[in-house]
Amino acid sequence: MQKESPIREPLILGNKSYHDITVDVAKPVLAKANKMWWIVFGISLVLFVWWILSVGYTIGTGIGVWGLNKTVGWAWDITNFVWWVGIGHAGTLISAVLLLFRQKWRLSINRSAEAMTIFAVVQAAMFPLIHMGRPWLGYFVFPIPNNFGSLWVNFNSPLLWDVFAISTYFSVSFVFWYVGLIPDFAMIRDKVNEKYWPLRKKIYSILSFGWSGKAKDWQRFEEVSLVLAGLATPLVFSVHSIVSFDFATSVIPGWHTTIFPPYFVAGAVFSGFAMVQTLLLVMRKVVGLEAYITIKHVEYMNIVIMLTGNLVGIAYLTELFMAWYSGVEFEQYAFLNRATGPYWWAYWSMMTCNVISPQLMWFKKLRTNIVFTFILALFVNVGMWFERFVIIVTSLHRDYLPSSWTMFSPTFVDIGIFVGSIGFFFVLFLLYSRTFPVIAQAELKTIVKSSSEQYKK
């Protein structure tokens, strides 16, 4: 039992007892889905089908069905990849870093944030695969002992580092998430009436790994969580640093920038929190979790968004300064071209969404307003997508030799794969929200007696 200052605002509203929490969390899983869920799921499914068709068409016909060309070899594919990886940063940050920092407010949101991470990384991981000219040979990127002679992967290549970074991050995040889920699965297992739902009972029994709630179970649970948090924390920083190396280690003006690793990590946390906001603001309404995901939670996340948004803004300005200060004409032109060239609209969309709009969060009134927060979160999502687009496309489309300068325009397949990946993501997330305990209720119960409204009175 821990003590908390009474002046801190409560993290659980209403007079929630342990039982109430159990019932609230188990409800979406045990009750029937409402109409809203079906509508959103239906739309997501349609988009997912579009994704399947677009990916199938790409693999069947060739990357030529995208809008890429001899000068711009990556565009929406890698933009989407980095965007999704970035989104996938919030979950682990919330559950691991905030765990280490003993931030109790994480408990209401960490489960869904982690789920979002897993699903976002799934989306992200698709892109490096499907963007390959020959995805059926994708296994070449793994250092598998082979009989092709002395062939081995190229450990100098940041793309190879990506392979390791993403797969490690995915594995650790997944295990961390799953470990946290065990006591909650056990709760659902115990709530399911075997008479009516024998299969469910069985599935949740298997999923909960025979959790019995013994003190020893809890002790091991706590220890594993802590160890995994320790493992996951560096990964939060390493993954996006490594993703940024894809660009930073190259020679292309606009890519070749030493500030990329911290800049990308800040951007990732920024976009990740925005996505968490986007999802949770809807979910708390739909699933009725207002008591657990309070305005205070929203405000905390908004503060993180504002902070990381400003970090990103400083990075943008630093880039501009360094381009000027370097005295290298290619660098100078690359950044000038971003802001004033044919893709100026992308650059200024990015600037508006990522740097200017988060400044509104300085106002307490705004950062505690749900509707405003939701709109701003969408802005940040859009802005961060544009950030990656700006970095990738505007740097490539006009690099060293003007003779090769050209432009990029997406095809319906590019759009299909991007929008479809959002559909795919929501399909996974919506299925999750109906089958998984969306709040880490077992852990949340640990703060009922310190941080809930009823005990703070």
Partner 1 sequence: MTKQKKYWKGLAELANDPAIENLKHNEFVEKIPVDDFLGDGETLSNTSTSRRDFLKFLGFSTAAATLAACETPVIKSIPYVIKPEEITPGVANWYASTFYDGNDFANVLVKTREGRPIFIKPNDLSSAAPNARVISSVLSLYDSNRLKGVMKNGESVSWSDADTDIKDRLSSIDGDVVVLTNTIISPTTKSLLNAFSKKYAAKHVQYDAISHQGMLDANKDSFGQRVLPSYHLDKADVLVSFGADFLGNWLNSSFEKQYIANRNPKSGKMSRHFQIETNMSLSGSNADVRIPVKPSEKLNLIENLYNALKGNAPANDKIKDIVSELSAAKGKSLVICDSNDKAVQIMVNAINDMLGNYGKTIDLTQPSLLRAGDDNAVAQLVQDMNDGKVGALIISGVNPSYTLANAEAFNEGLKKVSLTISTALSMDETSTNVEYVCPDRHYLESWGDAKATLNQVAFTQPTIQPLFDSRQFQESLMTWSGDDSDYYTYLKNYWRSKVSWSSSLHDGLVELSSDSLSVSSFSANVNSISSQANGLELALYQSNSIGDGSQSNNPWLQELPDPITRACWDNYLTISATTARENGLTNWNISDGALNGDMVRLTVGDRVIENVPVLIQPGQAIGTLGLALGYGRTAAGKVGNGVGVNAYSLAIDNNYTLSDVKIEKVEGEHGFASVQLHHTMMGRDLIKETTLAEYIADPKAGNPDLLFDTHKGKLFADEVSLWKEFDHETGHFWNLSIDLTSCIGCNACVVACHSENNVPVVGKEEVRKSRDMHWLRIDRYFSSDMTEEVAEEQGLGAVSKYKAMEVPSENPDVAFQPVMCQHCNHAPCETVCPVAATSHSAEGQNHMAYNRCVGTRYCANNCPYKVRRFNWFDYAENDAFDYNMNDDLGKMVLNPDVTVRVRGVMEKCSMCIQMIQKTKLDAKRDGRKVLDKDAQTACSIACPTNALVFGDVNDESSEVRTLKSDERKYFLLEAINTAPSVFYQTKIRNRKA
Please identify which residue in 40, 153, 229, 295 interacts with partner 1, judged by CB under 8 A: 153
Binding of partner 1 by 333 (CB under 8 A): yes
> Shortest Cβ distance from residue 165 to partner 1 (Å)?
13
63 lies in the site for partner 1, by CB under 8 A? yes
Out of 102, 154, 195, 199, point to the residue binding partner 1 (CB under 8 A). Answer: 154
Q: Dig out the tokens for 248 from the structure.
A: 């930073």
Report, in Å, the least distance between residue 55 CB and partner 1: 14
Under a CB-based contact definition with an 8 Å cutoff, are residues 448 and 18 in contact?
Answer: yes
Output the smallest distance, CB 341 to partner 1, in A.
9
Using CB under 8 A, count the residues that bind partner 1: 60
Q: Is 435 in the site for partner 1 (CB under 8 A)?
A: no
Q: What's the min distance (Å) between Cβ of 289 and partner 1?
A: 42
Query: Does residue number 61 form part of the binding site for partner 1 (CB under 8 A)?
Result: yes
- Residue 262 binds to partner 1 (criterion: CB under 8 A): no
CB of 92 to partner 1, least distance (A): 25
- Does position 68 interact with partner 1 (CB under 8 A)? The reply is yes
In order of 111, 228, 425, the CA distances from 374 in angstroms are: 20, 31, 19
Choose, by CB under 8 A, the member of 37, 122, 158, 259 that binds partner 1: 158
Phi-psi category of residue 326: left, alpha or beta, with phi > 0 → left and psi -120 to 50 → alpha: alpha
Of residues 75 and 116, the one with the C-beta less far from partner 1: 75
User: How far apart are CB 410 and partner 1 at their closest, in Å?
Assistant: 9
* 402 is a contact residue toward partner 1 (CB under 8 A): yes
User: 259 CB contacts (<8 Å, ≥6 apart)?
Assistant: 315, 318, 319, 322
Indicate which single residue of 7, 32, 156, 215 sits in contact with partner 1 (rule: CB under 8 A): 156
Residues 337-356 that bind partner 1 (CB under 8 A): 337, 340, 342
Examine residue 330 and tell whether it contacts partner 1 (CB under 8 A). Answer: yes
* Closer residue to partner 1 in complex, CB, 215/327: 327
What is the distance between the alpha carbons of residues 264 and 254, in angstroms, rounded to a whole number? 14
Determine, following the binding rule CB under 8 A, whether residue 336 of this chain makes contact with partner 1: yes
- Does 163 help bind partner 1 (rule: CB under 8 A)? yes
Shortest distance in whole angstroms from residue 327 CB to partner 1:
10
User: Ramachandran region of residue 254, left (φ > 0), alpha (ψ -120 to 50) or beta?
Assistant: left
Rounded-to-integer distance, Cα 57 and Cα 130, Å: 11
Point out which span in 27-35, 46-54, 59-67, 263-271 binds partner 1 (CB under 8 A). 59-67
CA separation for the pair 292, 91 (Å, rounded): 17
| Interface mask toward partner 1 for 222-251; x: CB under 8 A | ------------------------x--xxx
**CA atoms of 162 and 8, how far apart (whole Å):** 41
Give least dist CB 251 to partner 1, A: 5
Q: Is 168 in the site for partner 1 (CB under 8 A)?
A: no
Least distance in angstroms from the C-beta of 164 to partner 1: 11
Nearer to partner 1 by Cβ, of 59 and 448: the residue is 59
Q: Across the strands, what pairs with 452?
A: 12
Question: Residue 414: which of 15, 151, 127, 172 has the closest Cα?
Answer: 127
- The binding site for partner 1 (CB under 8 A) comprises 61-64, 67-71, 73-74, 128, 131-135, 137-138, 140-141, 148, 151-154, 156-160, 163, 246, 249-252, 328-330, 332-333, 336-337, 340, 342, 396-409
